[in-house]
Structure 1
């Protein structure tokens, strides 16, 4: 009984701290009850809302530079931890990690913010969610800036996992993430900090391969780039030590389920003003057929209000951290027009 009371007290104190916390740069933190979950939100500034949606293995923290920059330019920057990540509870199961659940959380957050429409910026999984937010509820989005992951039309004849396995083989990271508990067990054999260093420092345009029967971080030690500090890694590591990786990995495990659920949107276009930014060394930009899709007629045919494509030279996947100031300027220069 006493242990239960202690755990409840710790939870109450954590929530209170989140409500009260301000970072040294003025970023405020609070908990918001949306769509049946308690969502952690970081925000700063006054003005039109810019909703910043993170990817994997990120958290709200990945947007720390953009939050400060946008707030200084007259916007209200809002960056949640998505369900199953960081301080947003509860952790997700595969069947409630779908685009519909996550977009539903964000629509409820937008309503909670007291605004009709927002600007949206997404990266990695956040970019995928942003595309579907615009497909499902275009009435809620003024304009979109998406980073790294281009819009991917639904292939009605083949499920995503089958396609990825055929292209990249069984050691491709998304395939390796599919078996529940397996990747979590491999991560647990390493320090969480080293797992995150390997993921966050990947700067190779080739596919991310995780060979079987080897330690996940056996190719370390990892030398951090100038844009990623030990303090940054430690922040991520503390949060993943608390939550584990299952909530995040379940997004990948729901890919085929999402394919089934979104059949009615096959061929639907994203009819929102869009700017797309990608690094030329990003593994997503270098996947088969992607450059041709982006620079040919395909991308524009599915995103008819695509206004600009920016390819940053010498930049990898975590573009908004690697080139924080440049990315922030690109975001501002686009959304300030509306």
Structure 2
């Protein structure tokens, strides 16, 4: 089925975005990737939702993969991705869509639903609940100073760390490290890439071919934009207050996802505090699910996505 996925360039807000698409259903599902990912991360879900009668669309965010880079990446924030999502819907003539977000892609998914509820039928996110970017979004001070986000937020540090290795090795290291259940934290005399043991094999669900696909696209884009959005812009205020996501929402949580160990995160999700912001939220758990559960156990994730989509109207 991979060969049936069609690729095109769509101009949105003055930048050409790389868009992948499969399926001809009247209801559109737009997939929003995280890091270190691109459209390809959604390959299993795209094919599955297309087979279920939906139109599946995944794209590379600006600055990622085959999409164009903004002129000044260092001035970009997560909130710039909201008009990008809406602009993409406009460009391909979709009035209302389902949004599916993973990792940082969950954040523009929720924000688009909050700011433009008339354009979003429902939101599904993997691993990441509703989080409003801003100074309090990531509680770095509750974690050791070798916490990967703290390290990557420091200008030049990740560039020097990553620059010691071929791009393919960086992607391999991140995918392998971040599929574990522990938060990546470096010692004082280490960088994040030093946490990787070169003898560790790729996860069984991630092939050398998959790795090569990711690597070829990051060789084109580099990491400049990815380090800015999400990491270095995570503390920038959106200018929004009293945000509510009123559309139906599904949060799929992998119980082996290291993100669940972020300070306060498990309570925020399990005790239902997140429902203060997303009142129509349904949460389901995958016991063995890692940070990359959509690639690790795609059949389970696909079933949950399709069952939820089938219950919604558009």
TM over 0.5: yes
Q: Does 2:80 match 1:80?
A: no
Q: Distance in 2 between matches of 1:93 and 1:184?
A: 17
Measured after TM superposition, the shift of residue 200 of structure 1 is 1.1
Q: Distance in 2 between matches of 1:102 and 1:268?
A: 17
Distance 1:77 1:212, change over 3 A: farther
User: Could you say which residue in structure 2 is the equivalent of 1:176?
Assistant: 151
Distance 1:24 1:284, change over 3 A: closer
Once the two structures are superposed, residues 207-256 of structure 1 have per-residue CA deviations (whole angstroms, 9 ceiling, x without a partner) of 22134544625522331122100000011111111221111111111112
User: Could you say which residue in structure 1 is the equivalent of 2:250?
Assistant: 275
Measured after TM superposition, the shift of residue 27 of structure 1 is 0.4
Q: Does 2:58 match 1:58?
A: no
Q: Residues 112-151 of structure 1: matches in 2 within 5 Å?
A: 112-151=91-130
Measured after TM superposition, the shift of residue 297 of structure 1 is 3.4
Structure with higher RCO (Cα < 8 A, 6+ apart) = 2
In structure 2, stretches of 5+ residues that fail to align are none
Distance 1:96 1:293, change over 3 A: same
Contact 2:35/2:226 (<8 A) preserved: yes
- How many equivalent residue pairs? 307
Normalised by the size of structure 1, how large is the TM-score?
Answer: 0.86
Q: Residues 247-266 of structure 1: matches in 2 within 5 Å?
A: 247-251=225-229, 252-257=231-236, 259=237, 262-263=238-239, 265-266=240-241
2:277 corresponds, among 302, 311, 319, to 302
Contact 1:198/1:222 (<8 A) preserved: no
Contact 2:33/2:103 (<8 A) preserved: yes
Which of structures 1 and 2 has the bigger CA Rg? Answer: 1
1:219 corresponds, among 178, 197, 200, to 197
Q: Distance in 1 between matches of 2:175 and 2:66?
A: 20
Contact 1:93/1:250 (<8 A) preserved: no
Contact 2:65/2:218 (<8 A) preserved: yes
3-state SS of the aligned residue for 2:250? strand
Q: Distance in 1 between matches of 2:46 and 2:71?
A: 26
Q: Distance in 2 between matches of 1:219 and 1:183?
A: 18
Runs of 4+ in 1 over 3 A off after TM superposition: 91-96, 158-161, 210-215
Contact 1:206/1:287 (<8 A) preserved: no
Contact 2:78/2:133 (<8 A) preserved: no
Contact 2:144/2:185 (<8 A) preserved: no
User: Could you say which residue in structure 1 is the equivalent of 2:169?
Assistant: 194
Measured after TM superposition, the shift of residue 101 of structure 1 is 1.5
3-state SS of the aligned residue for 1:284? helix
3-state SS of the aligned residue for 1:85? coil
Normalised by the size of structure 2, how large is the TM-score?
Answer: 0.92
3-state SS of the aligned residue for 1:122? strand
3-state SS of the aligned residue for 1:55? coil
3-state SS of the aligned residue for 2:260? coil
User: Could you say which residue in structure 2 is the equivalent of 1:209?
Assistant: 185
